[in-house]
Structure formats: structure tokens, C-alpha cells
Chain A
């Protein structure tokens, strides 16, 4: 089971709780959301509570430094913070070395399991920033190679815009370029074009992402950590990802560059319950309350101690605080990923993931036929299915 907690703002005791109930096998820390002092204490605590085999990574979130008026919160307090950067600040290779080294030196002082390189976000594999990305990645590799006494491996950040994944040929060329690199793996984050929650990549982008994961992990033996992945992570796991990550807010379950931009505000999040059989978080009201009137209620609820009260009472009147919703969500996600990981063969894993999607679509259809109204059609499931088919075609 390899589901990591995607740390972010407002952590409460969520990470400790997922460790305690055995559902989290690692954490990806967000530098932006802790001061350096608090980060040190948090790392120490998580290493101790997580025990052997618990992975602690830190995302340096370097890409945020190129966003004008970006919401970088605590990032400016870190020693590796270079100030706001623009394209002109990336012209001198010495500066790129300094940026890369500073972020890794900072990590070397924390009890982290892996180094995560700093990186800028790529709009496309051949865009104006790609050379900067490659140079910074090489500088990170060089820094790590010079520290042969440090057993902690290096993982390269790869922060992509969804648009970068629309071009299959560019993905292939990028794979050819990076597979010779001497690193342990990659930490992949993809910014989704859609907003709202739950959102999804387009099928082609998803299929190419799965191919990238597969090419790097199964074909070339890299460790792949997929950040901000959430439920679609069952596909990432099937394609070979070592770990996927999800957090308590929607913004920690799907990555968007806009969350690093000045805030436009937003409404109050409506309470949701993640249904294992629907592979989606559904609204308590009116979706789950409508399902209650059907014979599929217990199937949609699933089996968990967190939802025991909902089996007996009207879910709209059951206390469903954000903490319980998150712990239940994380449990569902862990169960799904464990089921995929229990299969050895990639084809078997992909078959299982596809069967999960088909079952969920059937359950949605059955519920609709019983008059249950959902806010939107489960378009994400159809996209996952199409993305999976596209990927399997590419595998051949």
C-alpha cells in the first residue's frame, strides 16, 4: 500500500491520524505551508511516528518563485528562497546551480527519506523553460553525485501543465532524454486545466501521463511518486507508480498553479463522502440522501467504521466533520490502491483498474435509473476509461 499524505495548509492532526490507523505510508511535505522551524519539528515527529519504511519527502515548490505576486506564504522564510524570479534570472548557469544547490542543502539538514530537486513548471516539453528545467535537473544530479557519503537518493521534480501531456511525440522524446539520468526517481505533479473538485485531465493527457509513469517505472526502474493524485491514482498505481498522494482539501487532491496565485476567494466546501463503489466523492446532500432511498445505499456507503452512523441515520443529520471525511476518504483510497498493488502483473493491474471503473459506471447507471440525481454526470470516470484505453494502445 503506497498512499502518501499530501501535506498542505491546515494540517490539524490529519497526518498523525492516517499514520496511526495504518493507511499512510509516507508524506509529501509542502514547504509553503510550514515555517522552517515548524518544518524541522514536523519532520522529526513524522519520522518518529511513521517508523521504519515511512517515507518523508519535502516538495521545495521552487516553481512558485516565478509566479508574480504568487501566494508563497512561508516559502520566503526558507534559506533557498531566491526572491521573485523571471526569465532573465535564469540565463546564467551559475545561478541555476546556486538555486538547485540551495534547495538540496536545506533538505540535507532534515531527516528526509529522499531529496526532491527544485524545478520550474513546464507548459510543454519543448517550451522556453524546458532548457532551464534540464539544466537545473542536471545541477541537482551533479550535487548529489558529489555527496557519495549520503545514502539518501535523489528524486527529480517534474511539474507539468496538462497541455504538455497532449503531445505524445514530445512525451516520447522527453522519456528518451531523461531515462539515462542517474537518479532514483521522479516526483511528478500535473496541473489540471479543469477547476472545481473533482476535476480530471483530458483522456489524451491522462493516457500520456500513464505512459510516462510506465516508461519511467516499469521499463526503466525509476521510483515514481505522483503528487496531488487522489482517486485517479489507482490508474497511476496500475501503470507503475511507487506512490500516489492525496490530502484533506480539494486543492491537495488535484494540483493547480492557480492555488499559488492571488486568491479570488471561494465558497464553503460542501460536505462529501467518498464512495468506493462510485470511485467519487459524492455530496452528502442531496446525492447521498437521495441514494438512501434506494437498495444500493449500503453498497454506495461501503464498509468502514467512519460511516457506521450513516447506516442507521439520515446522513444529512450525521456529524461529518472535515477530519472524519478526510480519514474516511484516505481509507477508501488506501483500500483501492492496495487492491491494485496486490496484483503483480501490470496487465492484471490495469484490468483490475478498468473493472473498478466499469463497476462504478454501472452503479451510477443503476442509481440514475432509480431517480437519484447527481450534480454532474460521472464524466471523470469515462475520461479515466478512455485515458486507460489510449495508454494501453500506446503500450502495444
Chain B
């Protein structure tokens, strides 16, 4: 551990090394060239060190991403959207009962969602999600930087399953020699990647894709992701 700290400093240096590698070689994790990242993103399950998407936002969504993100990022709006379908309309009464929102708050939120084109009122009391909403629903991957493979690291990675399609733990290379907890990490299909001093990484455990456990938490996290454009974009990414 001491050697790791002297070579990589601390977790944030480990993170920087990993991010540089992702930028220069996104193929290794099958990520697109124009990679989008958000650091320390707020979620309902804590703050993962890094969140990325393996998808590319369509131009139509990308243009309005901040407005869409701010709208989805409200817990009440995320709750409403989590109950909607593209084909089966939901009544406002059903939404009121399920979300426990007041009629007034529900109408306000539906108006806001309608304004950014994520929902459509099929009649005055029936609501559908739109194709535009489906296009905005990009998968998220969550990464946690750790100096050792502790059970706490696995716990955090499992927490992020609530909203992420894949979760990863990133550790320094010396953890390869001490594969503590690696068995249980593999058992849970959580990804584990070790980084050497040159930023090259080795995949110790493969992350399996799974639907996020909670649609509500996924939508809330998606809202945060879309809002955080500043540090996320490929143009400035990695130049520190």
C-alpha cells in the first residue's frame, strides 16, 4: 500500500491515470471515441467517483441536454417518468396514487416534462412517454477508485447497480498480487480493473451488463449526468 501511495499518490491520482487511459484507449472498455464522463456524480446511492456512458447522445437530445437533465433530475419528475410507458397510457390518477404527489405538483411536473418533449398527454388525463424520452435513456456505467479491494469497495459498487448498467472498481496494480475479495467481486459480476504506473490497465473481473435495479434511481442519476456537461466532454477531457 505504501508503494502504491508513493507512486500514485492517492485515489484521485489513480483516477486521473485511469481517465487518461480511457481517453487514449476507450476501445479497451468498448467505449465510444467521444467519451462523456462525470466525476463525483450525485446519485441516490452515494457519489461514484466516475460515471460514463457507453452510448452517444443523439444530436436532438444533446442540444437540449441541460434542460432535459434538470427536468429529469428532480426526484418527483424521475418518479413520474419511471412509471410511464411508450405504449400504455397512464392516468394522472394512477400517477398521483403511485407517486403520492399532490395534484398540483403532478400537473406542474407533467407540464415541465412536456415542455422538454419527454411526455405526451394522450388525453387530458392520460400520459405517455415519448420516443424522445426513450432516446434520452442512455446507459450509465459507474466507477469507484480504491487503493485496495475491500468489501466496502464492493458494497459501493453494488449500491451503484441501482442506476448503472455496469459498475467497476479501479485499483492500483499491486492488488493483482493480493486478490483479496476478488472471488466475491467476480461472483457479483462487478468489474475490477487494475492500473499500473504507466496507466495501462488489466481487467481482473469482467462487469456484466444488467438493467439498473431501480428505474426511478436510474432516471434521477441520468438527470444528474445530463446536467453535468462542464467537466464531462471529450474536448477538455484528460488535459490536466
**Chain A residues with CB below 8 A from B214, complex form:** 285, 316-317
Give A371 to B185 CA distance when docked, in angstroms: 9
- B187 at interface, CB cutoff 8 A: yes
Give A374 to B214 CA distance when docked, in angstroms: 19
From A268, A319, A371, contact of B184 by CB (8 A): A371
Contact A286 B161 (CB under 8 A): yes
Residue in chain B with minimal CB distance to A321:
B100
- B203 at interface, CB cutoff 8 A: no
- B151, B187, B215: most-surrounded residue (chain A CB, <10 A): B151
Residue in chain B with minimal CB distance to A371:
B187
**Chain A residues with CB below 8 A from B184, complex form:** 371, 373
Contact A289 B213 (CB under 8 A): yes
Contact B217 A316 (CB under 8 A): yes
- What is the CB-to-nearest-CB distance from A313 to chain B, in angstroms, rounded to a whole number? 11
Main secondary structure of the interface of B (DSSP, over half): helix
Contact B98 A286 (CB under 8 A): no
Given contacts A285-B162, A286-B162, A289-B161, contact A375 B155 (CB under 8 A): yes
Give A289 to B213 CA distance when docked, in angstroms: 8
Interface residues on chain B, size class:
10 to 19
Give A314 to B154 CA distance when docked, in angstroms: 20
**Chain A residues with CB below 8 A from B158, complex form:** 286, 289-290, 373
B104-155 at interface with A (beta carbon < 8 Å): 151, 154-155
- B39 at interface, CB cutoff 8 A: no
Interface residues on chain A, size class:
10 to 19
Give A109 to B161 CA distance when docked, in angstroms: 55
Contact B187 A285 (CB under 8 A): no
Residue in chain B with minimal CB distance to A293:
B188
- B45 at interface, CB cutoff 8 A: yes
- What is the CB-to-nearest-CB distance from A366 to chain B, in angstroms, rounded to a whole number? 15
- B159 at interface, CB cutoff 8 A: yes
B163-187 vs A, Cβ < 8 Å mask (1 yes, 0 no): 0000000000000000000001001
- A52 at interface, CB cutoff 8 A: no
Q: List 5 A-B contacts (CB under 8 A).
A: A285-B217, A286-B162, A289-B162, A289-B213, A316-B217
Known: A285-B214, A375-B155. 8 other contacts (CB 8 A): A268-B44, A285-B162, A289-B162, A289-B213, A316-B213, A317-B213, A373-B151, A373-B188
Ordered nearest first, which 5 A-B pairs have the shortest CB separation?
A286-B158, A316-B213, A316-B214, A285-B162, A371-B187
Please list the residues of chain A having a beta carbon within 8 angstroms of any beta carbon in chain B: 268, 270, 285-286, 289-290, 314, 316-317, 319, 321, 371, 373-375
